[in-house]
Amino acid sequence: MNWALITTGFFFGTFKFLFAHWALYAAFPLEGLDSIIEIYLSISAGAISTMAVFYFSSDFMMERAAKKRKLKQAIALEKGIPFIPKRKFTRINKLMVKVKRKIGIYGITVLAPLFLSIPLGSVVCAKFYGDQKKTFPLMILFTSLYSLLMCSIIYSVI
């Protein structure tokens, strides 16, 4: 077992999941199928553990952010400073709602963790579909399948 590869794979999988497979492939000399399995398991474990932390703590983080906004407003009003709240209907928010409506739960659970990063993608999935029980298992499934696909491509290269 290559513990350096496993540890690096775990930490790459936590945040830079989209490119983690190729970074490990470039950084460590691979020795056949055993190295590919180590890459798959370490990156998937890192991604799933981070996904769980951020998905299940997203409610707390969103409530905390709302409390901070209310506190800033109260402080501004207390000091007599006009408080200008952040816009809620920004271009990005409108785009996210449009994407949610077009691609649904399956598209969000596939694309958000990949392209937004695991932590941010997990929070987005929880915000949009946290009330559905199948959201987190779908995120795990699609992340594992993507990791398997990348490892298969790497294995075909060596």
User: How large is the average pLDDT for residues 130-138?
Assistant: 92
> Can you give the three-state secondary structure of 89-151, one letter per residue?
CCHHHHHHHHHHHHHHHHHHHHHHHHHCCHHHHHHHHHHHHCCCCCHHHHHHHHHHHHHHHHH
Check residues 9 and 2 and name the one with the higher pLDDT: 9
Contact criterion met (CB below 8 Å) for 55 and 126? yes
pLDDT of 44 reads 93
- pLDDT band for position 2 (cuts 50, 70, 90): confident
pLDDT of 80 reads 82
| Residues with Cβ within 8 Å of residue 17, at least 6 apart in sequence | 43, 46, 47, 113, 114, 117, 118, 143, 146, 147
- Rounded CA-CA distance 3/126 in Å is 33
- pLDDT band for position 149 (cuts 50, 70, 90): very high
Q: What sign does the dihedral 151-39-41-34 (CA atoms) show?
A: positive
pLDDT of 138 reads 94
pLDDT of 102 reads 92
Tokens 């075909």 found at: 156
- What is the pTM (predicted TM-score) of this model? 0.81
80-127: pLDDT as tens digits: 888 777 777 788 778 878 888 999 899 888 888 888 889 988 998 998
pLDDT of 50 reads 94
Counting every residue written for the chain, the total comes to 158
- Rounded CA-CA distance 83/127 in Å is 26
11-67: pLDDT as tens digits: 988 988 888 888 888 887 776 667 888 889 999 999 999 999 999 999 899 899 889
- Tell how far CA 9 is from the center of its chain: 16
Torsion of CA 44, 50, 55, 61, to 10 degrees: -170
List the domain boundaries for the chain: 3-157
